[in-house]
Amino acid sequence: MITARTDLEAARARLSTLKTQRPAQKLRLYLVEGEILTEHEKYTEALQVYSEALVEVPDNADLLYVRAMDDGARSQVDIGT
């Protein structure tokens, strides 16, 4: 598990590089980045990643699903449930 803030930043930088180097795997890399952010309760950033991915892969069911789930998780944190 990525624990330190610098580890999180390094992981995101590496994923960004991989998105450029391996365009065929870009969708999976977006999903991984969003999952990492969600695990660290960075829901707003995860939603931004998923929204960015949807620009490149519109109407992707997996992206729409995880974005909706993260939005729900963020809402629960916001209201304290």
Q: What distance in Å separates the CA atoms of residue 81 and residue 59, rounded to the nearest whole number?
A: 30
The pTM of the full predicted model, rounded to 2 decimals, is 0.80
* Containing structural domain, residue 35: 5-79
Residue 45: per-residue pLDDT? 95
75 has a pLDDT exceeding 70: no
2 has a pLDDT exceeding 60: no
Number of Cβ atoms within 10 Å of the Cβ of 65: 11
Q: Tens digit of pLDDT for each residue in 30-61?
A: 999 999 999 999 989 999 999 999 999 998 99
What DSSP line would sit under 51-76, residue for residue?
HHHHHHSTT-HHHHHHHHHHHHHHHH
Q: What distance in Å separates the CA atoms of residue 44 and residue 51, rounded to the nearest whole number?
A: 11
Instruction: Count structural domains, the chain.
Output: 1
Residue 76: per-residue pLDDT? 54
